[in-house]
Every structure is written in C-alpha cells, then in structure tokens.
Amino acid sequence: MGSSFVNADYSDLVDTSQVKIPSSPLDRIIGQAEAVRLAKISASQARHLLLVGPPGVGKSMIAQAMSFYIRRPTEEIRAVHNPLRPERPFVEIKSAAEIMAEKDEESSIEEQVLDPGDAPPFAAERLGFRCPRCGFISSFTETVCPNCNAPKTQVSQSGPFGDVFNVLGAAFGVQNNTDRVTSTRRVGDKEEVVIYERSGEKIKVLDERALEKKRKQEKKSPSKVIVPLDRNPFVLATGASETELLGDVRHDPYGGHPHLGTLPYERVVAGSIHDAHQGVLFIDEISHLGHIQRYILTAMQEKSFPITGRNPQSAGASVRMDKVPCNFILVAACNINDLQYILSPLRSRILGSGYEVLMDTSIPDTPENRVKYVQFISQEITSDGKIPHMEISACNLVMEEGKRRAKEVDHKDNSLTLRLRELGGLIRAAGDIAKTEGASLITSAHLKDALKIYIPVEEKIKKVYGNLGAAYDIENSLSQKSNQYEMPFHNYNEDRSYL
Ligand SMILES: Nc1ncnc2c1ncn2[C@@H]1O[C@H](COP(=O)(O)OP(=O)(O)OP(=O)(O)O)[C@@H](O)[C@H]1O
Ligand SMILES: [Mg+2]
C-alpha cells in the first residue's frame, strides 16, 4: 500500500477521507496478488498476459496499470512516398535520436528575419512593403502608400535587373514572384546569392548555405508520421473493428490523382496493433474478436503487419504498405466461459512467452485485508467525485456485505468478495442517498438504506410476483393479448379515423 496505514488498525480512523490512496495504480488493486505480480513481470520483461475471471474483479484495472511500468516508446513509424509506385508507400522507422538530429538540422538553417525597414530598399519595395516614391514602409497588403498615396507596385517584372534576377532564381529552383526576391551580395571578395522572402509582415533572408540545406530537404521524399514517438504505450482495443485494429488506407475520391488527389502515403492510417508498438495492446473479451484473432496471431509472430485499404470499394484497397512494425505485449482478458473460444495457437503463443492468470474472486477476511477493503472504499469514493466520504462504521457494513457475497456467490466462508465493481455500486448508491440528504459523510443509516434499494431487479421481481416463473407467465399472457390487435404502438400509427 505504500503508506504508514499498512496493517494499521483502521478503526483508528473516523472516515475514509483519512485513507492515503497509493499513487502507483497497481497498488490500488485489492487482492489479486498473483495477477499483480505477473503483471509487473510482464510489463518489465515484455511478456504477454491473459487474465481470466468473472466481471468486475479488476482485469481492466490491472491491464491499465501496466502502462505505468512500461518504458516510453523509442521509435516513431512513418509512411514515406514512393515516387516510382505511389500505391506502395515505404515504411520508415526513426529512433528518438534520429528525430532529434532531424529537428536540429531543420532549425540549423540559418535564416535571418528582418523588419521591412531594415531590408535593402529594393527588396522591401519588390515585396510590397516600401513605397517606391517616398520610401514609407507599410503592410504589403496596402496597395497604395498611406503616406503619399502613390501606388505601391508589387509585381515588378521590369527594372534594370529583372532578367538577371529571374535567371538566378531559376537556377535555384525558385520563381521570382512577389513573395521572393533573388539578389546577390558581396561577402568578402565573393559574390553570393541571397533570397529575400516575405514571411508575414517580415522579410526572411536566405543565404547560399541555407538554400543548399533547404534544397536537400525538399529533395527528400515526403512522409507522414503514422505512429508518433510521443504516444500512450497502452492501447485499448476493446470491441475494435478490423480496420481500427489493423489499420487502413482512407478512400480518395480522386483515386490518388497526382494533381487532384491525396497521395496514398498520406492516407495510410495505423491500426491499434501499430499504435501499441513497443507498448501494451489490451484486448478485453478477446474471444469476441472471432476470426480477427488470426490477424493478432500473425502480428505477434511477425512483429509487423501490412497496412492496406480494407474496404474493397475504396480507392485505398489498391494501396499497401508492408512490414509496418507492431511489436507489442498482448494483454488479453476474458471470462471463464469464453476461454474455449480463444484460438488455441493464440493461447499457445501467450503461454510460450507469457502468463495466464486466473483472477481471485475473494480474499480471506483478515485484519490486513479489511484495511485494504477500506482503501478500496476510499478509492471508489474519490474516483466517483460526486459523493461524500464514508464513516468507518458504515465501512464495516460494506465488509459484512462483502462477506455475505463471498459466501453466497463463491461459497467461501470467512472471506471478502473481490467482485468489487458491484460492491462499488453499493457504495455509490449509499453516497447518492447521503448526498441528496445533504449529509457530509455516508453513515450506516445511508448504507442500510442503499442495501434495500441496491438489489438485483430479479430479487425485486420475486418480492412483487412471488417468484420469477410466475412473473414470466403473467407478462407473457399480457403481451399475447395485446398482440391480438397487433402491437399497440402499431395500432396508434395505423388508426387515423379520428383525423
Ligand atoms: N481488485 C480490485 N481492486 C480495486 N478495485 C477493483 C478491483 N476489482 C474491481 N475494482 C473496481 O471495479 C471496477 C471495475 O473493475 P474492472 O473494470 O477492472 O473489472 P474487469 O475485471 O475488467 O471486468 P469486466 O470483465 O466486466 O471487464 C474498477 O474500476 C474498480 O473501481
Ligand atoms: Mg474489463
């Protein structure tokens, strides 16, 4: 628990606001000692993990907490334009160090930024800042000088050096238009080319070295980051569709036409398996994935998976990017009944390089575990954020209920249930009652009240109808009667005789 509260007698406390909640998420998990231990090992050793157990015992909580123990990703994944075959973009993997180096390179382009008034007059004039008549500097958006009312010429193809500038500009692959002026200047005893470029209301000056670097950069094939370096290493893939899980290439109505369309590399979208590269891919209810499990298996074996357009009607279908890395730790959860629907080669993969855990459904009712239970109550109240804290006497009642449930549901004597989601519901119900009464703490009275309300609807049905069977019979015959006249709402729609 990481606080002085460990093994303390919680009855020293007045209410749950005095409980210190651990900052590390795995320490917030009550019981489940084996699962927590293996989760820590899985995270630090990059092993797969399958958590098996009933709802609400902490499977998702454990999986989520693992991201806390995983190292930050060190690689970024990019889609790079392939000029020879645009529909087969290349994949590029860049390390953090390489990305840094690239950024340095970019920022090392030495370009000076000048106020128009500080630039050579001819450049300021050509870029539309300086009045050719009076020399007054104004915004390039003003076509008439605010000082002398003379028109400011922005496009000036004439002039004694016009042609020379154009030739020099062409040599450097730039056009001599109104937002770029090419000129020369003397550095020592050498003539060098300088470009004055409009940048908002300022003028950028690019010398030969800067131009050289810029040209190099422009020559590089364009690329798009599809999995950024700075990402959450915990990826939740619950109920994900095939495209979400495996990636996709978006449709382009212009079919990637070189002038109208969006190039294929720009339309590549990574899947959850790629986002989870160097992290955790958490799949809840893994058996529900059905045939998609096969793709997960392949991805785990190859540690890479192609991204391709998954909709055959779409222009994306002809695009494929091979070998996109997806080296993830698989953390999967499922309940006991669904274990049989997990693909056996997938389970073999998990066992071959990881662990399978059966979650506990109860813990022995010991003083230490009661302390943890109080911690649990405090956590639930804190994370809910809408209800007041709980008096210790009421906590004792929660524990009695936990004990009763361990006995009734799991047939465990002297134990406390770990089916904690539902117990959390009881705590919130008591909290809501306290809140509506304006009470500053949840008391035993609130809890007793909640216990009356917070029972499964089947229990309530039994009270009203005698037993479940009788309830079904009564309601069935009623619905048959109304069906004689077809469905009631159908009648309301059809019968318009009153209109
Ligand atoms: N062992 C536990 N320790 C502390 N809190 C728990 C524990 N188990 C469950 N809870 C509480 O119950 C909530 C639900 O738990 P969780 O989502 O982890 O259950 P699950 O096992 O993933 O259930 P499901 O099978 O329905 O997905 C948690 O957010 C937490 O508030
Ligand atoms: Mg869950």
CB atoms within 10 A of CB 142: 12
* Ligand with minimal distance to 384 CA: 1
What pLDDT, on a 0 to 100 scale, did the predictor assign at position 257? 64
Tell how far CA 255 is from the center of its chain: 29
- Distance in Å, CA 57 to ligand 1 centroid: 5
Among 76-85, 104-113, 167-176, 481-490, which stretch is predicted with the lowest mean pLDDT?
167-176
Nearest residue (by CA) to ligand 1, atom 29, is 61
79 lines ligand 1 (CB under 6 A): no
Residue 398 CA, ligand 1 centroid: distance in Å = 17
Q: At what angle do helices 420-436 and 367-384 cross, to 10 degrees?
A: 60
| Angstrom distance (rounded) from CA 331 to CA 435 | 38
**Secondary structure in 3-state letters for the chain:** CCCCCCCCCHHHCCEHHHCCCCCCHHHHCCCCHHHHHHHHHHHHHCCEEEEECCCCCCHHHHHHHHHHHCCCCCEEEEEECCCCCCCCCEEEEEEHHHHHHHHHHHHCCCEEEECHHHCCHHHHHHCCCECCCCCCECCCCCCECCCCCCECCCCCCCCCCHHHHHHHHHHCCCCCCCCEEEEEEEECCEEEEEEEEEECCEEEEECHHHHHHHHHHHHCCCEEEEECCCCCCEEECCCCCHHHHHCEECCCCCCCCCCCCCCHHHHEECCHHHHCCCCEEEECCHHHHHHHHHHHHHHHHHCECCEECCCCCCHHHHCEECCCECCCEEEEEECHHHHHHCCHHHHHHHHHCEEEEECCCEEECCHHHHHHHHHHHHHHHHHHCCCCCEEHHHHHHHHHHHHHHHHHHHCCCCEEECCHHHHHHHHHHHHHHHHHCCCCCECHHHHHHHHHHCCCHHHHHHHHHCCHHHHHHHHHHHHHHHHHCCCHHHHHHHCCCCC
Residue nearest to atom 7 of ligand 1 (CA): 58
| Structure token digits, residue 366 | 């010991």
Q: 56: Cβ below 6 Å to ligand 1?
A: yes
Query: Token match 């606001």: residue?
Result: 17
Instruction: Please report, as a single letter, which amino acid is at residue 104.
Output: D
Q: Are 431 and 444 in contact (CB under 8 A)?
A: no
Instruction: Check pocket membership of 423 for ligand 1, CB cut-off 6 A.
Output: no
- Is residue 376 in contact with ligand 1, taking CB distance under 6 Å? yes
Q: Is the pLDDT confidence value at 373 over 90?
A: yes
What are phi and psi for residue 271, nearest 5 degrees?
Answer: -95, 175
Distance 63 CA to ligand 1 centre (A): 10
CA of 47 to the centre of ligand 1 (A): 22
Amino acid at 49: L
Give the pLDDT confidence of 102-143 residue by residue, as tens digits.
888 777 766 788 999 999 999 999 898 999 899 999 998 888
Residues 241 and 252: their CA atoms lie apart, in Å, by: 21
Q: Is the CB of 272 under 6 A from ligand 1?
A: no
Q: State whether the beta carbon of 388 lies less than 6 angstroms from ligand 1.
A: no
Question: Is pLDDT above 50 for 158?
Answer: no
d(CA 62, CA 207): 57
Q: Which of 19, 29, 60 to mutate to test the pocket of ligand 1 (most atoms within 8 A of CB)?
A: 60
Give distance in angstroms: CA of 464 to centre of ligand 1: 32
- Among the residue ranges 223-227, 379-383, 480-484, the one predicted with the least confidence is 480-484
pLDDT given at position 192: 84
pLDDT band, residue 346 (cuts 50/70/90):
very high
- Pair 56, 42: CB distance under 8 Å: no
Question: What distance in angstroms lies between residue 494's CA and the mean position of ligand 2's atoms?
Answer: 45
- The protein residue with its alpha carbon nearest to ligand 1, atom 30, reads 421
For the record, the structure tokens of 163 come out as: 């042609």
For residue 418 and ligand 1, the question of a CB distance below 6 A is answered with yes
Ligand nearest the Cα atom of residue 1:
1
Residue 499 CB neighbours (<10 A): 4
Instruction: Give tens-digit pLDDT for 433-459.
Output: 999 999 999 999 999 999 988 777 877
Q: Does ligand 1 come within 6 angstroms of the Cβ of 354?
A: no
Q: Is 424 in the pocket of ligand 1 (CB under 6 A)?
A: yes
Of 264-268, 426-430, 462-466, 491-495, minimum mean pLDDT range? 491-495
Architecture of domain 10-30+363-454: Orthogonal Bundle (1.10)
Report phi then psi at 147, rounded to 5.
-90, -50
Residue nearest to atom 13 of ligand 1 (CA): 421
Whose alpha carbon is nearest atom 4 of ligand 1?
29
Q: What is the mean pLDDT of residues 232-241?
A: 84
Measured distance CA(59)–CA(377) in Å, rounded: 18
Token output for 118: 């500080």
Average pLDDT value for the chain: 86
Q: Residue 5: CB within 6 Å of ligand 1?
A: no
Specify the ligand 1 atom closest to the Cα of 421.
12
Of the pLDDT bands very low, low, confident and very high (cuts 50, 70, 90), residue 174 is very low
- Nearest Cα residue to atom 5 of ligand 1: 29
Average pLDDT on 193-205 reads 89
* Whether 446 contacts 430, CB under 8 Å: yes
Q: For residue 164, how far is its CA from the centre of ligand 2 (angstroms)?
A: 71
Is ligand 1 within 6 A of the CB of residue 57? yes
Q: Output 152-158 pairs: Cβ under 8 A, ≥24 positions apart.
A: 152/125, 152/128, 153/125, 154/126, 154/127, 154/128, 154/178, 156/125, 156/126
User: Dihedrals φ, ψ of 441, to 5°?
Assistant: -140, 155
Binding site membership of 29 for ligand 1 (Cβ less than 6 Å) = yes
Rg (CA), the chain: 35
pLDDT, position 2: 40
Residue identifier of the C-alpha nearest atom 25 of ligand 1? 55
Residue 331 CA to residue 355 CA, distance in Å, equals: 10
Question: Is the beta carbon of 60 within 6 A of some atom in ligand 1?
Answer: yes
From ligand 2's centre to the CA of 174, what distance in Å?
58
Q: What is the whole-number distance in angstroms between the Cα of residue 59 and the centre of ligand 1?
A: 6
CATH superfamily of this structure's domain 40-93+223-358: P-loop containing nucleotide triphosphate hydrolases (3.40.50.300)
Check pocket membership of 26 for ligand 1, CB cut-off 6 A. no
In sequence order, the β-bridge partners of residue 205 are: 112, 196
Q: Determine if ligand 1 sits within 6 Å of the CB of residue 182.
A: no
- Look up residue 199 and give its two tokens: 């940048």
Tell whether the model's pLDDT for residue 294 goes beyond 70. yes
Give the pLDDT of residue 342. 94
- Which ligand sits nearest to residue 422's alpha carbon? 1
